[in-house]
Amino acid sequence: MKKLRYPFGTITITDKTKKLVNGALDSGRISGGRLVREFEQGFARLVGTKEAVAMSSGTDADALALAVLYDRGAQRGDEVIVPSLSFVATGNAVLQAGFIPRFVDIERTTLNIDPRKIEAAVGPRTRGIMPVHLMGKPADMDAVNAVAKKHGLLVVEDAAEAQSATYKGKNIGTLGDMAAFSLYIAHVISTGEGGIVATDNPDYANTLRSLRAHGRACKCSSCMMSVSGGHCDKRFKHGTDIRFIFERVGFSAKMNELEAAIGLGYLDIYPEIYNARLRNFNYIHKKFASLKPHLLTIDPVAGEEMAPYAFPVLVPPGARFTRDQLMTYLEDNGVDTRSLFLSMPTQCPGFAFLGHKLGEFPEAEYCANNGLHIGLHQDINEEHLDYFIELTKKFLESRL
């Protein structure tokens, strides 16, 4: 078997991106301006929301979306319900926004928050729920929204890995009050780094524009001074320069023009990227059936489409090998792998101050110890996927 190099992620730099980057550099205007606004508008159209507000990272997108809660009367130290298994950015963002994460275990068959356990986590200081569509698999948004409606909670979808996924005919990103997306290199749409929050609520969008710029009062959807350097009639109508009036505790989380240029290039060829990734997902999902029951994965169900972000693999109970042994074998043979994150409250030392103990979140802990994932990006093809399947079969044959 010929050895291949199978990288986890990629980035596509189009000719349009190069032209836009060079134009921004030649103009000397690289802070967020015209290109950022064009990218926001294009992303909102793609997701199907009225607004999208670009940020410097997906973590900032989570944190700023949650910080909107302060305009709804939340206090620092209030709680936000999140799944126990996710990339650590989910829990970090809750804390960075000034809240306490209230963790709920996940379902092993979906990797998402267990809908049967959400309501029991609601307490007197709960202000929001942030479900995660992990590995592009939609969370049970009907259950999430039912609890949120009953208790008056804000819903922020952590859609970092789920751009392009659908749930009961609706796009992920349109099912809560807001949705936070990551635009990191490995994702379906990328700006290199970056994040973006989608919403239908114009008041939330205005607050997000304020929050990403230190909480300043200046929060127009398109800033004349940033876009063209022109005069702003609003600037001195408030007793002082509006750019130095700060209405709320904010962040420094703006996207710049160079990142937006990469994103605009992606939007230009989005169908090509999405279709290539979807072909990869469908192909490997079908081929993977030959590895069951020795290895497991998560499956789409009727009424949903998973985002072709990555392909998760779980080692089942009682296996004669470990996840780490499989990962080492794959890595030694050129396949770039990632473990399946950690149980944030019990396996991430940074959260130890919350007082959770190992064993509290058994499903998340099991998946963390026994799960891995590989990329499905647009720069791999059936040859790479066949290589992964054949390598894995060879590994299993040596262990069974």
**Per-position b or e across 192-222, b if 16+ CB within 10 A of its CB:** ebbbbbbbeeeebbbbbbbbbbbbbbbbeee
Q: Measured between alpha carbons, how far apart are the two ends of the chain, in Å?
A: 21
Whether the model clears a pTM of 0.85, i.e. scores above it, the answer is: yes
Rounded to an integer, what distance in angstroms lies between the CA atom of residue 65 and that of residue 46? 19
The pLDDT tens digits of the residues spanning 74-103 come to 999 999 999 999 999 999 999 999 999 999
Position 116 confidence tier, pLDDT thresholds 50, 70, 90: very high
Residue type at 27?
A: S
Position 231 confidence tier, pLDDT thresholds 50, 70, 90: low
The pLDDT tens digits of the residues spanning 152-171 come to 999 999 999 999 999 999 99
**What confidence score (pLDDT) does residue 302 get?**
93
Whether residue 134 has pLDDT greater than 70? yes
Mean pLDDT of 217-240: 60
Position 221 confidence tier, pLDDT thresholds 50, 70, 90: low
Mean pLDDT of 180-195: 96
**What confidence score (pLDDT) does residue 2 get?**
87
**What confidence score (pLDDT) does residue 367 get?**
98
Mean pLDDT score across all residues of the chain:
94
Q: What percent of the chain has pLDDT over 70?
A: 94
Rounded to an integer, what distance in angstroms lies between the CA atom of residue 51 and that of residue 336? 36
118 contact partners, CB below 8 Å, separation of at least 6: 81, 104, 129, 143, 144, 147
Cβ distance 38 to 255 under 8 Å? Answer: no
Whether residue 223 has pLDDT greater than 80? no
**What confidence score (pLDDT) does residue 245 get?**
79
**What confidence score (pLDDT) does residue 16 get?**
97
Position 257 confidence tier, pLDDT thresholds 50, 70, 90: very high
**What confidence score (pLDDT) does residue 217 get?**
76
The rounded Cα 172 to chain-centroid distance in angstroms is: 11
| Cα–Cα distance list, 136 to 227, 349, 360 (Å) | 35, 26, 25
Joined together, the tokens standing for residue 343 give 């149980």
- DSSP lists the bridge partners of residue 156 as 178
Joined together, the tokens standing for residue 148 give 């949120």
**Nearest-CA neighbor of 58 among 157, 204, 206?**
157
Whether residue 219 has pLDDT greater than 80? no
How many CA atoms lie less than 13 Å away from 298 in the CB half-sphere? Answer: 29
3-state secondary structure of 60: helix
**What confidence score (pLDDT) does residue 226 get?**
56
Position 222 confidence tier, pLDDT thresholds 50, 70, 90: low
Whether residue 127 has pLDDT greater than 70? yes
Mean pLDDT of 35-46: 98
3-state secondary structure of 288: helix
210 contact partners, CB below 8 Å, separation of at least 6: 216, 217, 218, 219, 247, 248, 250
Cβ distance 125 to 78 under 8 Å? Answer: yes
CATH architecture of 15-268: 3-Layer(aba) Sandwich (3.40)
Sign of the dihedral defined by the CA atoms of residues 234, 236, 237, 242, in that order: positive
Cβ distance 283 to 160 under 8 Å? Answer: no
Position 236 confidence tier, pLDDT thresholds 50, 70, 90: low
**Cα–Cα–Cα angle for 95, 100, 101, nearest 5°?**
90
**What confidence score (pLDDT) does residue 168 get?**
97
What backbone torsions phi and psi does residue 363 show, to the nearest 5 degrees?
-70, -45
The CATH classification of domain 271-399, taken from the options 3.40.50.880, 2.130.10.10, 3.40.50.300, 3.90.1150.10: 3.90.1150.10
Listed by start position, the domains of the chain span 15-268, 271-399
Position 400 confidence tier, pLDDT thresholds 50, 70, 90: confident
Position 234 confidence tier, pLDDT thresholds 50, 70, 90: low
Joined together, the tokens standing for residue 270 give 């989005």
Whether residue 240 has pLDDT greater than 90? no
Position 227 confidence tier, pLDDT thresholds 50, 70, 90: low
Same fold, 15-268 and 271-399: no
**What confidence score (pLDDT) does residue 333 get?**
98
The pLDDT tens digits of the residues spanning 271-320 come to 999 999 999 999 999 999 999 999 999 999 999 999 999 999 999 999 99
Mean pLDDT of 360-388: 98
Whether residue 150 has pLDDT greater than 90? yes
